[in-house]
Structure formats: structure tokens, C-alpha cells
Chain A
């Protein structure tokens, strides 16, 4: 199949899918109207606080008439739905973008409804969203690094946990955050190496290898923590990286304090994000990396060293996950607690799948999942009678839906998870 033919195939939207999407958009509109807008008192207003924290660079609070806003959102969704159904071919290849827009409108409608007659600090919400998205995105990038070269990595959780523990321990002993961070990255790389040796050299089932690393990391971190760190709090007090304000950019109203007044991890995440996206898709290294994940035999025939590429991939992936682990202790809490990653490594994996094995996609998914997480903690304050647990389930359900191909099947690397055996 030639590239153009392949592209056409990828961009083709089946009529069924077009209709399903159209109906989905309409449904979103109807739900907003029926559940949120219908019984709303016309005089009620929703107040969105626009202060991300700190008193500077704020913009005035956003006060919206609730019912009118909801009706406008309903109309927008229904318009998009009709356009999708009635235009020939709908939105074609932009369907997923429109789906994203509709999802955004729906979330906004939900917030408007939830905060009706109350006030919700949107700035604070976005601020926590970003900080919750950081470990997810970093973890997902670890997954992308490995899986784009054909090695499944479900050990992100374990590597993060190890990174978190080692970062806290070494950081406390050295009394230096950077040394702690370096150790966290190094521990991640070590586990990555173990994963590599098992799955590349010994051709172990990669999921089993990943599971073993997860179990090992859980046991080892808890063991060290129980044996040394709990009894001796000096060993568990590394401190955290302080936020760095970027001079001019942090004065941008609203966005400034959210984006440009963070600690090192957030900036590093953005840098890694750009580097990885560029590296994977616009450099020779990236082409080789992906070739090994898509068709290792062809790559081997062309003289690419499959084993070396995969080793580098798992090492980099491990380092990334170790870095992500460092975020928990050195960037956010300042202390190691047993099992503190609490399944975020698996959410990172979900973000990777949701983001279609692309760095920016994973970041988007990380933001979405982080948003669900931070909104869940706000639910109680807003006194909404939807259990926050259902909101917390959303990322997992969304990932399963994406995986099932309801909203367009992900393009996973073709040789993902298959050990490579050199012939002859």
C-alpha cells in the first residue's frame, strides 16, 4: 500500500461512524438541555472564579446567567450534530476534533450547571489540573518511548514508585534535590534495564516482566520505607523544588500564573513533550525508533540494530518514569509514603493509549484525566449529588471506549509486545 492510499484509508470516515458521531453530538445537546437547563431558575447566575492562586495577574471573575449559557451550549451541540449528519461526509477527518469540541462544551455545561448559584474557582481548578497532569504525561511519555520501539511497558507504575522512593531517600541523605532527582532517574533506568534484559534478551512475555517489576517495586519501596524511612524521618524529608516564576510570561493575565509559575517539573514536562514529539516524528532517530516498533525485521534488514534500539528505548522510558516518580516526592509532596503513586502509572498507560501513542495526545489525555481528578475533589464542596467516584472512573471508561474503536481506533505500533528474534 502506498503512503497516499494508506493516508486515504486512515482518513476515511465510514457512514456508520459519521451517523454515530452526529447522534452523539445531538445527544450531548439534549442531555445539557434536559438535565441541566430545563429546571433551572432563569435568574440564577454561575460565578467562575478566575484566580489561579496568588493575587497578581488576575482577571475579573466570570459571571454567567446559568440558563442562558446552558441553552447556548445546547444550541451549539445540536448545530454541530446536525452539521455532522446533514453535510455530505460530515466533518470528515476533522470529526475527532469536533468530538473534542463537543466534549469541551459538555464539560463547560456541566461546570456551569454544577456551580449554578455558587462560585467555582476555575483558575484554581485549571491549576490543579495541570499539576495532576504532570506525572500522568511524563508516565505516558515513558510508555510511548518503550512502545514506539515495540516493548510494552506496564511497569510505569513500579518505576514511578521506585523513582519516588529513591528520590526522597537520596534527596534527604544528600540534602540536595538535584542529586535526589538524579538518583530517581537512575533507579528508573535500572528497572528499565531489567525490563529490557528480560523482554529483549530472554524474550519473556513483556506483560509478565512488567508485572514482576511492579510487584518488585511495590515490595522493595515499602520494605525500605518501613525499615528505614518511617523510623527515621530525617531520611524522608527531601523538601521540594520551589516554583520558578518566569519573568514576563507569568504576568499574562489568568494563563500566566497557571502556566509560568510552576516548579521545574512542569517546565521539564513541556520540554520533554516538544523534544519527544519532534524527535519521534521529524528526526532520523525517531524514524528508526518507530521502524523498530512497527516492523523490526524490515528495520533489521535496513541495518538498524533492533536490539540496541529497544534497549535504548526501555532505558529512556525507565528514566522518564523515574523522573515522573521524582515528581511525587520532590515536586509535590516532599515525602515518600508507601504506595503513593496509587495507580497513577496505570492511568498514565491509559493516557498513552487515549492519546494514540503520541506525546501531545498523551498530554491532552493527561490534562483530561487530571481535570476529572481535580474536579472530583471539588464535587463535595459544590454539594453535587453525583458521587465523585464516578467522575474518577471516567478516564478508565473513556480508555476502554477508545480501545473498542468507538471513536476511531488507535494506531498502536504494529510490533508492540512482540519479542524480536534475529534469524540465522
Chain B
């Protein structure tokens, strides 16, 4: 028996039912069940995501170095020089990533000192762009996280985002002469309804026929792409252009921008934070949310306890789709002001990674979304400054996803002990919808 092989099996695993029962007991008696409480537990639950992020960055850096010609030239002279060059390459790349995501501190200070509003805006621009980039991630991450809580794996966020965007764009340009105070909510809710509809179908199929939501949401993704392809080259195409792009939405449907140009921070960010709080409240403070989590941890026990499992599954998928739809609406109403073919570049897939990174908790999702937004936004600057293709970000995200999903890998690397309280019963993993 080797050391490395043992840890995953060392602890007696608790299944969903046991976790659920304990949670029930805890909430009834108000005690915390044999866990390290407060700060220590908080730090412990942060350890894996933080180490996952760190390890991801290290591996990403390794890839950057190993694909740089400068490194090999220096290595040819002497290995020490090579290491130094490698360090410089990584430092340059990540500092470009950082300043791209948050702005350069030096520039901010200079701008503040000059007192020129224009310059100050420009200096703070990267930071606000990160918030803009994080907003759809918050919605998308919440969508996936809510699904996870109900034991559902919604990998169709991408499609739901598209449908949400279609609905929002249509409501945005076809309704005319409505004041903004009405138009924005209408268009935003239209997006949510579109996404909800796209989530309802796989949810209903899961509840009624047992067809697995992973396959169905995946198929719905591609149906959504084809549908939007058709709409944008046909009925929704902007008159007078050859490109597949919808008409620009009405002025009244645009989400409010808080600052002048070039800062694009818009009302969607505030809505996203509000929605995150709502999801938290729904999941942890309402009966519906409790039912949803109960179905997620053990559908059989939930059914036994008299919960309407089918209805809960449908509800969860509708809400999940609706949240994803909001991401689409947010992009159309807050950033692009129209719908073009390639507007969502992988938000749905990244959302899976960040929902896991955030441990399917709304607060965690918001933090991870900010991180992913920073990565995405900073990478543009990194590509510009250091010629490292932006795609390295996807590689980073894949590493983070792996390490968060397989904490045992991280524990093996850093020789951590397995936690006493396992949350691994959170979602169902089998294809068959059992």
C-alpha cells in the first residue's frame, strides 16, 4: 500500500442521504455538526480553490515558457540563464495579465495626480472592463451552480445564453416608444424567459422520461446555435447589411452606464449581484430552495419525504436556464447593443468551471466570476504586450477545473489531509438519470 493511493479511501464516505440528514438535523437544532467552525472552516474550504488557481497558474506559466523561443536560446547558453529568462517571460506575461485586468498602479497614480478626468477614466478602464467581463460569468455560473444544487448538470448554459440573447435583442429593437424604466426590465425578463424556456425542455424531458439532462442540454445547445444562425441570416437580420447581425436595440432598452466613455460598466453588474443574493436567499432560506437541494442530494429520500421531485427538477432547470438567459440579455442590453453570430465565446463552458470553483455557492460563484472575468480581460492585454495567444486562458481554466473537480490531485501534490466533512455527494454523476 503506497501513501499516495490511500487518502481518497481513508475516510468513510458519506452518501447524499447522510449529508442531507445531518444538514436537516443541524438546521433544526442550530448546531454545527462536528466541523471546525468559523474562520478555520472558511479557510479550509478556500484552500482547494486557492491551490487549484495557483497550480493552474504555475502550469500555465510552464506552458508559456516551454513554448517560447527566448527560453531555449537562453537555455542553450546556460541552464541558469535559461531559468532566469523563463522567470522573466512568466513575470512579464502575468504582470501584463494583471495590469490588463486591474489597470497599472503607476498609471492610476499618475492619472489621479494629473486630475484630468479623461485620464483617470482611462487608467481605471481595465478594472471596470473586468467587472463587465465578469457579469455574464456571474449569471452563467449561478445557472450551473443552481443546477448542481438540484443534482442536475446543466451543460446547456451556452445555448440558453444564446436564446436569452435572442429574446432580449428582439424585445430590445422591436418594442418602440417605451420609456427606459419599462423597456429595460421587459427586455431583460424576456431574455430570462427565453433561457428558461430552453431549460424547461430538458427539465421536462428529465422529469417525464428520464432522458439525461446532459445529453439533452448538449443537443439543445446546437439547436440554439442553428436557430440563431437562421434568425440572424433571416427574420432578425438587420436590413441593409450582409453580415448576420440583428438591428441595434432601442436607446431605451440599453442598460444604464455609470461612467462616461470609455468605461462600460453598466447596470447589469448590479443586477447580477442582486440576482446572486436572490439565488442565495432562494436556495438557503426558502422551502422551495430546501426542496431543490434535498432533491439534489438524494432524490429518493426527497420523494420519500413527500417532495414533488419531478416538479422540482423542472423548476430547477427553468431557473437555471433563466439565469443563463439573463447572461445573454446582459450582453445584448449592456455591452453589444445587438446580437451577432459569435457573441458568446464559450461563456457556457467556462461557467461550469467557475460554478465548481465557487463550490456551487452564490458567493463563491461571484468571486470565481470576478476571477474569470479578470483572466479573460487581462489576457487581451497579455496578447497585445507579450504576444502570448489569448487561448492560454482556456488552458488555465481547464487546469483549474480539473484541480477543483479532483481535489485529491491537489491533496496529493501538496500533501494535504482529506477533510472530515465531504461535500462530494453534491451531484449525481450517472448518465442513466438514476
Please report A residues at the B interface, Cβ cutoff 8 Å: 147, 152, 154, 198, 202-209, 211-216, 218-220, 222-224, 226-228, 343, 346-347, 349-350, 353, 387, 389-390, 392-393, 396-397, 399-400, 403-405, 412, 414-419, 421
Query: Which residues of A sit under 8 angstroms from B8, Cβ to Cβ?
Result: 202-203
Contact A207:B153 (CB < 8 A) given known A223-B392, A346-B218, A389-B229: yes
Q: Is the beta-carbon distance between A208 and B401 smaller than 8 angstroms?
A: yes
Q: Is the beta-carbon distance between A400 and B216 smaller than 8 angstroms?
A: yes
Contact A205:B405 (CB < 8 A) given known A350-B219, A397-B223, A399-B215: yes
Closest chain A residue, CB of each to CB of B398: A216
Q: Is the beta-carbon distance between B398 and A207 smaller than 8 angstroms?
A: no
CA distance in complex: A98, B234 (Å): 37
Q: Is the beta-carbon distance between A219 and B222 smaller than 8 angstroms?
A: no
Query: Which residues of A sit under 8 angstroms from B405, Cβ to Cβ?
Result: 198, 204-205, 208-209, 212
Within the complex, which residue of B225, B234, B397, B430 is in contact with A215, where a contact is CB–CB below 8 Å?
B397
Chain B count of residues within 8 A CB distance of the other chain: 56
Q: Is the beta-carbon distance between A215 and B350 smaller than 8 angstroms?
A: yes
Shortest distance in angstroms between A200's beta carbon and chain B's nearest beta carbon?
11
Q: Is the beta-carbon distance between A417 and B429 smaller than 8 angstroms?
A: yes
CA distance in complex: A330, B402 (Å): 31
Q: Could you list 10 further interchain pairs (A-B, Cβ under 8 angstroms) beyond the known A212-B405, A226-B391?
A: A212-B353, A216-B399, A219-B391, A219-B396, A220-B395, A347-B222, A390-B226, A396-B223, A397-B223, A417-B431
Q: List 7 A-B contacts (CB under 8 A).
A: A209-B405, A212-B353, A346-B222, A350-B219, A400-B215, A404-B205, A417-B430
Shortest distance in angstroms between A294's beta carbon and chain B's nearest beta carbon?
11
Q: Is the beta-carbon distance between B223 and A215 smaller than 8 angstroms?
A: no
Within the complex, which residue of B205, B216, B226, B395 is in contact with A393, where a contact is CB–CB below 8 Å?
B226
Query: Which residues of B sit under 8 angstroms from A216, Cβ to Cβ?
Result: 394-395, 398-399, 402
Q: Is the beta-carbon distance between B219 and A212 smaller than 8 angstroms?
A: no
Please report B residues at the A interface, Cβ cutoff 8 Å: 8-9, 63, 67, 153, 155, 205, 208-212, 214-216, 218-223, 225-227, 229-230, 233-234, 346, 349-350, 352-353, 356, 388-389, 391-399, 401-402, 405-406, 408-409, 427, 429-432
Q: Is the beta-carbon distance between B394 and A219 smaller than 8 angstroms?
A: yes
Shortest distance in angstroms between B110's beta carbon and chain A's nearest beta carbon?
33
Query: Which residues of B sit under 8 angstroms from A211, Cβ to Cβ?
Result: 155, 349, 352-353, 401
Query: Which residues of B sit under 8 angstroms from A396, Cβ to Cβ?
Result: 219-220, 222-223
Within the complex, which residue of A198, A224, A400 is in contact with B402, where a contact is CB–CB below 8 Å?
A198
Contact A154:B214 (CB < 8 A) given known A214-B349, A219-B395, A223-B389: yes
Shortest distance in angstroms between A216's beta carbon and chain B's nearest beta carbon?
3
Closest chain B residue, CB of each to CB of A152: B431
Shortest distance in angstroms between B269's beta carbon and chain A's nearest beta carbon?
25
Question: How many cross-chain pairs have Cβ atoms below 8 Å apart between A and B?
Answer: 157
9 A-B pairs with least C-beta separation: A219-B394, A216-B398, A226-B389, A222-B391, A389-B230, A219-B395, A396-B219, A403-B211, A417-B431
Within the complex, which residue of A198, A218, A343 is in contact with B406, where a contact is CB–CB below 8 Å?
A198
Q: Is the beta-carbon distance between A412 and B67 smaller than 8 angstroms?
A: no
CA distance in complex: A417, B222 (Å): 23
Within the complex, which residue of A152, A204, A399, A419 is in contact with B219, where a contact is CB–CB below 8 Å?
A399
Q: Is the beta-carbon distance between A393 and B227 smaller than 8 angstroms?
A: yes
Query: Which residues of A sit under 8 angstroms from B346, Cβ to Cβ?
Result: 215, 218
Q: Is the beta-carbon distance between A343 and B222 smaller than 8 angstroms?
A: yes
Shortest distance in angstroms between B115's beta carbon and chain A's nearest beta carbon?
41
Shortest distance in angstroms between A245's beta carbon and chain B's nearest beta carbon?
36
Shortest distance in angstroms between A223's beta carbon and chain B's nearest beta carbon?
4
Q: Is the beta-carbon distance between A212 and B402 smaller than 8 angstroms?
A: yes
CA distance in complex: A404, B212 (Å): 9
Closest chain A residue, CB of each to CB of B352: A211
Q: Is the beta-carbon distance between B430 and A400 smaller than 8 angstroms?
A: no
Q: Is the beta-carbon distance between B215 and A403 smaller than 8 angstroms?
A: yes
CA distance in complex: A214, B234 (Å): 32
Query: Which residues of A sit under 8 angstroms from B205, Cβ to Cβ?
Result: 400, 403-404
Shortest distance in angstroms between A423's beta carbon and chain B's nearest beta carbon?
10
